[in-house]
Amino acid sequence: MAAADRPVVVDLAARRGDRRGPARADSPAPLLRAVYGEILRDERRDQDRTLADVARAVGMSKQYLSEVERGRKEPSSEMLHSVCGALGLPLEHLLARGIRRLAVTRRVETGTPALLPQEGSRRSGHARVELLAA
């Protein structure tokens, strides 16, 4: 197997500087709203933007945006679309990143390593997401 094709194990908590540590096997799976909120907060911080700046662009209070980012409020799909638009983050990227984080969490809970393609490999940065209607 070539070096570029070998998967790498990524500790997302350490990568983000998260002080909460790795997920424990006895902890419940995260709520989807908490995962989306964490992604939105990471994206906002990566852009060096304030809560007030993004909230103003969306037309919501910074308190509400803060609660969304902390996973305390369940935003509507329209609200997620608006926040993503203000951050320049396509909604499908939010969904794909959410799926990847949930998959990593599930792998941590089951004890199997989370394998992600290495930077520079053919599949790097390309997540396949299929949404199926019931």
Rounded CA gap, 61 and 79, in Å?
A: 12
Q: How confident is the model at residue 120 (pLDDT cuts 50, 70, 90)?
A: very low
Question: What percent of the chain lies above the pLDDT cut of 70?
Answer: 60
Global model pTM greater than 0.85? no
Q: Which residue has the higher pLDDT, 52 or 15?
A: 52
* Whether the predicted pLDDT of 24 surpasses 80: no
H-only helix segments in the chain: 12-16, 32-46, 51-58, 62-69, 77-87, 91-110
- What mean pLDDT is reported for the chain? 77
Which pLDDT tens digit goes with each residue over 29-76? 789 999 999 999 999 999 999 999 999 999 999 999 999 999 999 999
Q: How confident is the model at residue 10 (pLDDT cuts 50, 70, 90)?
A: low
